Structure 1
Amino acid sequence: MTLILVLKTVWMVCAVGIIILVLLHSPKGDGLSGLGGQAQLFTSTKSAETTLNRLTWTLTILFIGITIVLSAGWLGR
């Protein structure tokens, strides 16, 4: 496996992860995370929202960073 292939795979996983995490967010703190009792994994809805926010921002920064590296062609072909 080349480094570019690994980065593209991580990039696609980040994209899907961002989509899922954004769908889990809700303005009322419930959202899709209320399905199946997932909201009860956290001690409170505030910590659930905080965790979702941190994960979303982490994946977004990683996604943007990999996008810049792949589009700039710094790794060669």
Structure 2
Amino acid sequence: MTLVSIVQTIWAISAAGLIVLVLLHSPKGDGLGGLGGQAQLFTSTKSAETTLNRVTWTLTVLFIGLTIVLSAKWLA
């Protein structure tokens, strides 16, 4: 497995993760509460929403960065 294929795999996983995370966001700010229940992992809905936002932004930066690296063919 080459470095390019590893980066492409990470890029595809980040794309799929972004799709899921964007769909979890509620347009009214309900966030994870809109899935039919509260997130039991978090102490409040606000902390769940904050965590969801941070993970979404992290994956966004990763996805855009890997897109630039792959399109510029810096690894090939």
TM-score interval for Structure 1 and Structure 2 normalised by the shorter chain: 0.7 to 0.9
Q: Does residue 57 of structure 1 match 2:57?
A: yes
Contact 1:21 1:56 in 2 (8 A): yes
Post-superposition Cα deviations, 1:5-44, rounded to whole Å, max 9, x if no partner, equal 000000000000000001111133434x333645222111
Post-superposition Cα deviations, 1:43-72, rounded to whole Å, max 9, x if no partner, equal 111101100000000000000000000000
Q: What is the aligned length?
A: 75
Counterpart-to-counterpart distance in 2, 1:20 and 1:64:
17
Contact 1:14 1:59 in 2 (8 A): yes
Structure 1 gap segments, 5+ residues each: none
Counterpart-to-counterpart distance in 2, 1:18 and 1:70:
18
Identity %: 76
Structure 2 gap segments, 5+ residues each: none
* Structure 1 segments of 4+ aligned residues over 4 angstroms from their partners: none
Aligned to 2:12: 12
Amino acid of the structure 2 residue aligned with 1:22? V
TM-score norm. by structure 2 comes to 0.87
* Structure with greater proportional helix content: 1
Secondary structure class of the residue paired with 2:51: helix
Counterpart-to-counterpart distance in 2, 1:38 and 1:69:
38
